[in-house]
Amino acid sequence: MQVFFINNHGGGFADTMTVRDGITVGELFNQQMPGCEPHDYLIRVNRQPCTADQVIREGDRISITPTKIEGARLAA
């Protein structure tokens, strides 16, 4: 099934992707963000808070946004 996935980590792509039926949010996270911890991210489905075991449905919008991002200073 097709879902809209927004990864705001790094390059921050947003695009539709195909996932298997019945996949949960937690499974999708582990698939797309290997080695990352969910608690370091704001994970939303259709702009709403969700649980790891929430089943994703056709057309859902899933966004993953890091809660800790290093800023910088502009070079003089």
Contacting residues toward other proteins, per CB under 8 A: 6, 8-14, 42, 44, 47-48, 63, 65-74
Shortest CB 46 distance to other proteins, Å: 9
CB of residue 63 vs other proteins: minimum separation in angstroms?
6
Cβ burial, residue 43 (10 Å; 0-12/13-18/19+): buried
Euclidean distance between CA atoms 1 and 67, whole angstroms: 28
Residue placing its CB nearer to other proteins in the complex, 28 or 41: 41
Q: How far is the CB of 34 from other proteins (least distance, A)?
A: 19
